[in-house]
């Protein structure tokens, strides 16, 4: 015998093809083949077999396979029954699970709405808290500004008669510090015109602050004039006055007063 597709008889040293019956084993090696070619399979294995023999062999093989399939079903019939029952119970279980899921989804939606409401409430509360903090800060600034205005007014109205020059310089420095502080506070509070605190300051303190600034300017002019007219020589007071005029932006007035007095001597 020679070759996979036929058997050969050796008669007087010559080879003759011998037809082979088709069987299940012939298909075993083709099971793992992704592209099974019928023509190629028959040519390689049974090209010397007649058509009638192939039909007969394949029909017999098909009958055997059908019988084996029926035997498998009959032998596992109990398992098929159990599978059917389990599927039937599974459908009911799936239905129950579906109802539970729908209820859970409904509860989840309700919780989500409640959470959103709570979240909005918290956000609104935080915004209100921030507004209260800002309002508290503005009230403190207004009170501080009012204290500075009162202190400035009280110190400005102190009698300077027979006051030592050292104390006079201290008074000038204190007034200057209060002047700068209340000016910055006033600018800070009134920076936002839509703020309610601006209306309060404009109504209660703005006029008073402007009046005190003019009064302070007149106080400085009067003191500088007094020092020059009386020939009082005090370098510390003069230098302090010059510094205050520079800080308040009235340096030209200082020069004008000094020049006017110098020319009248």
For the stretch 9-18, pLDDT in tens is 444 444 556 6
φ, ψ of residue 176 to 5 degrees: the values are: -65, -45
261, 228 in Cβ contact below 8 A?
Answer: yes
Question: Is 189's pLDDT higher than 90?
Answer: no
% of the chain beyond a pLDDT of 70:
76
Rounded CA separation 158/28 (Å): 122
Per-residue pLDDT band at 82 (split at 50, 70, 90): low
Q: What is the CA radius of gyration of the chain?
A: 57
Per-residue pLDDT band at 81 (split at 50, 70, 90): low
Number of Cβ atoms within 10 Å of the Cβ of 173: 13
Coil/strand/helix, residue 259: helix
How high is the pLDDT of residue 117? 92
The predicted-structure confidence for 102-128, as pLDDT tens digits, reads as follows 899 999 999 999 999 999 999 999 999
Report helix angle 206-229 to 235-247, nearest 10.
Answer: 150
How high is the pLDDT of residue 119? 93
Mean confidence (pLDDT) of the chain:
78
For the chain, the domains span 158-259
pTM above 0.85, yes or no: no
Question: Is 198's pLDDT higher than 60?
Answer: yes
Coil/strand/helix, residue 194: coil
């Amino acid at each position: 015998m020679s070759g996979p597709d036929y058997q050969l008889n050796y008669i007087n040293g010559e080879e003759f093809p011998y037809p082979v019956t088709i069987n299940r084993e012939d298909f075993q090696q083709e099971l793992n083949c992704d592209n099974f070619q019928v023509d190629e399979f028959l040519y390689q294995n049974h090209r010397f077999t007649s058509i009638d023999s192939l039909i007969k062999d394949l029909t017999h093989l098909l009958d055997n396979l059908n019988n084996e399939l029926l035997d498998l079903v009959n032998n596992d019939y109990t398992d098929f029954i159990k599978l059917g029952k389990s599927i039937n119970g599974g459908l009911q279980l799936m239905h129950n699970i579906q109802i539970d899921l729908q209820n859970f989804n409904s509860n989840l939606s309700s919780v989500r709405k409640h959470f959103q409401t709570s979240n909005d409430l918290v956000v609104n509360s935080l915004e209100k808290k921030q507004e209260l903090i800002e309002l508290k800060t503005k009230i403190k600034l207004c009170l501080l500004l009012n204290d500075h205005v009162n202190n400035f007014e009280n110190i400005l109205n102190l009698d300077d008669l027979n006051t030592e020059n050292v104390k006079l310089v201290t008074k000038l420095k204190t007034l200057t510090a209060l002047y700068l502080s209340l000016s910055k506070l006033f600018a800070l509070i009134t920076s936002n015109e839509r703020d309610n605190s601006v209306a309060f300051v404009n109504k209660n303190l703005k006029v008073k602050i402007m009046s005190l600034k003019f009064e302070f300017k007149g106080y400085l002019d009067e003191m500088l004039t007094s020092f020059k007219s009386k020939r009082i020589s005090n370098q510390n007071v003069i230098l302090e006055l010059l510094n205050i005029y520079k800080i308040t932006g009235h340096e030209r007035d200082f020069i004008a007063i000094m020049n006017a007095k110098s020319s009248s001597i």
